Amino acid sequence: MSGAWVHRFPDLRSRLPWLPLATLPTPVEAWPSEEFPGRLFVKRDDLTSPLYGGNKVRKFEYLLAAAREREARALVTLGGFGTNQGLALALHGRAGGFAVEVSLAPQPITATVGANLRGLVAAGASLRFARTGLGSLWGAWRAVRARRAAGERPYYIPAGASTPLSTLAYVAAALELAEQVEQGLLPVPDRIFVAAGTCGTAAGLVAGCKLARLATRVTAVRAYHPILANRGTIVRLARRAVALLRSLDPGMPDIPIAAGDFDLLTGFLGPGYGVPTPAALRAVAWAAPRLGLETTYTGKALAACLACCAAAGAGPVLFWNTYNSAVFPQAPNLDALPRSLRRALTDL
């Protein structure tokens, strides 16, 4: 279990479902730049696992443990064609002995999306293809129903793996950050910039910073449709995570969460989910000598970080990288994909 939990709340060790998947703590790096007037630091959650990193690995430590407690043998989830969550689940789930089924919805086909699709095929995930986001939700429900009819006990993981239980992963991550501040690895950040899709990561950081008494303001950068990436989602997930903690450990302080406790930036999404923006492309290129990002989530979050902080001359500021940097297998044979997708990948 995360050292942050053990050090601060040892009673949680025996009360929280947990599997060791992540390599923690992830490093913090200073990124000096003449173009950036403040002090910029990066939290390297791309290094959560050499199998496949990114923010989902922390969440899976709790969700896969809960699946085992329920004696599930199959995991069902959904996402866009280039879903990082689906790929992470396919790799970590298979390593844990689970079958994995992913229901996929259309999104713009970028090089990153193509690589993830090839990774999903290579990882042996069962794939369903829908024409819309709602269709992928229907496909996931059908997958769960079919597996139940076959006598299995599938465990459903929603889009973004954002649940009250998985949100605890980023409450613990904020406590981990507080320990790194105490160790002198970085000063207390004025702000944390993080991509907001289904908002579990941002919600956990909001609650965790308050629990750790860090005077740090979380700035969530919308990277998904407002129906999910909104202020209400962050508040609701943060509050439910705190309630879950208090149900497990009555000695846990009651942390009030309000809509004014964090920022939500909405101007960096661009035309829609997964559509690269000029600002995201510039941010990805700016980071490339040090770190590989992508244009769906982390490029937009870093673009917001650079724009806001360069204008204000603020600092110290922390960019929380949620993308994976581990190399994963790529399937050479794409016969498992629909013809239209095969053509799109060939055209990349």
Query: When comparing pLDDT for 313 and 96, which is higher?
Result: 96
Does residue 47 come out as left (phi exceeding 0), alpha (psi in the -120 to 50 range) or beta?
alpha
Answer for the pair 220, 202: CB distance below 8 angstroms, yes or no.
Answer: yes
Residue 313 has pLDDT above 70, yes or no: no
What does the pLDDT look like over 154-195, one tens digit per residue? 999 999 999 999 999 999 999 999 999 999 999 999 999 999
**201 pLDDT higher than 80:** yes
Using the predicted structure, report yes or no on whether residue 339 has a pLDDT greater than 90. Answer: no
C-alpha span between 104 and 81 (Å, rounded): 5
Instruction: Return the half-sphere exposure (C-beta side, CA atoms, 13 A cut-off) of residue 195.
Output: 28
Q: In angstroms, rounded to a whole number, what is the distance separating the alpha carbons of residues 113 and 109?
A: 6
Asked if the model's pLDDT at residue 237 lies above 90, the reply is yes
- pLDDT, residue 68, reads 97
Per-residue pLDDT at 2? 67
The angle, 0 to 180 degrees and rounded to 10, between the axes of the packed helices 84-95 and 111-122 is: 20
Q: Classify residue 46 by its DSSP letter.
A: G
- Whether 264 has a pLDDT exceeding 70, the answer reads yes
Letter for the amino acid at 216? Answer: T
DSSP letter, residue 265? E
pLDDT tens for each residue of 103-159: 999 998 888 999 999 999 999 999 999 999 899 999 999 999 999 999 999 999 999
Residue 6: pLDDT band (50, 70, 90) is low
The sheet that has 99-105: what strands, in order across it? 126-129, 99-105, 74-80, 154-156
- CA distances to 47, 115, 170 from 291, in Å: 11, 17, 22
Alpha carbon distance 237, 201 (integer Å): 10
The yes-or-no verdict on residue 245 having pLDDT over 80 is yes
Report the percentage of the chain scoring pLDDT > 70: 97
The three-point CA angle 331-334-338 to 5° equals 145
Does residue 35 carry a pLDDT above 80?
A: no
Please give the pLDDT value at position 343.
81
DSSP 163: -
What is residue 1's predicted lDDT score, i.e. its pLDDT?
67
* 8 A C-beta contact, residue 81 and residue 56: no
User: Whose CA is closest to 153, among 108, 98, 102, 111?
Assistant: 98
Mean pLDDT for the chain overall: 93
DSSP 200-222: HHHHHHHHHHHHTT---EEEEEE
Q: Can you tell me the distance from the alpha carbon of 123 to that of 327, in angstroms, rounded to the nearest whole number?
A: 13
Contact 234, 224 (CB under 8 A): no
pLDDT band at 10; cut points 50, 70, 90: confident
In the predicted structure, residue 290 carries a pLDDT above the cut 90 = yes
Q: Do the beta carbons of residue 81 and residue 49 sit within 8 Å? A: no
pTM (global) more than 0.75: yes
Averaged pLDDT for residues 325-340: 88
φ, ψ of residue 319 to 5 degrees: the values are: -95, 120
